[in-house]
A = this chain, B = another copy of it.
Amino acid sequence: MLREHEIEIRVRYQETDGQGRVHHANYFTYFEQGRTELLRAAGYSYREIEIQGWMLVVHEVTCKYHQPAVYDDLLRLCTKVVLARGARVVNEYQVFRDQTLIAEGRSVVACISREGRVVRLPDALLSDLGAEVE
C-alpha cells in the first residue's frame, strides 16, 4: 500500500515565462508526472493501464502558488493519494524548494473505459493505493 511518493523536478528554461518564473500552468504537468511516478512506485505503469483499456481523465484541478520557482530550481514534488474509491482518485500535491513551500494543489481523476463510460478502477490498484475495496 503506497499513499505518498516524492520526486525531484529540475525546472526547464521552456517552463518559465516572461516574468522569469515557472508559468503557473506547468505545475499541472508536474502533478501529472507525480501521479505517474507514484503509480510506478506502487508497481503499476499508467501506460499499461491505458493499453489495457482504462483511461484516467482529469475531472478537476486546483493549485495555490506561494512562492515563485525559477529556471534551474531543483523542486521536490510530494504526491499523496487522499482517496481512491470506485472510479475516482483524489490526489494532493506539495512543491518545495528546500524547505520553502512553492505551491500546493489537488486533483480529481476519473476512470473511464475506451467507450467513454465511467468505470470502477481495478480492485488491485484501488487496494494498492490504500483505498478500502468496497
A64 lies within 8 A of B72 (CB)? no
User: What 0/1 readout, one digit per residue, does chain A (111-125) give for beta carbons within 8 Å of chain B?
Assistant: 000000000000000
Question: In whole Å, how far is A119's beta carbon from the nearest beta carbon of chain B?
Answer: 15
Contacts of A58 in B (CB 8 A): 24, 65
A99 within 8 A of B: no
The contact sample of 16 A-B pairs, CB cut-off 8 A, is: A12-B29, A12-B36, A13-B17, A13-B32, A14-B17, A14-B25, A14-B29, A18-B18, A24-B61, A46-B72, A47-B72, A58-B65, A60-B65, A61-B62, A62-B62, A62-B63
A residues in contact (CB < 8 Å) with B: 10, 12-14, 16-21, 23-26, 28-29, 32-33, 36, 45-47, 50, 55, 57-65, 68, 70-72
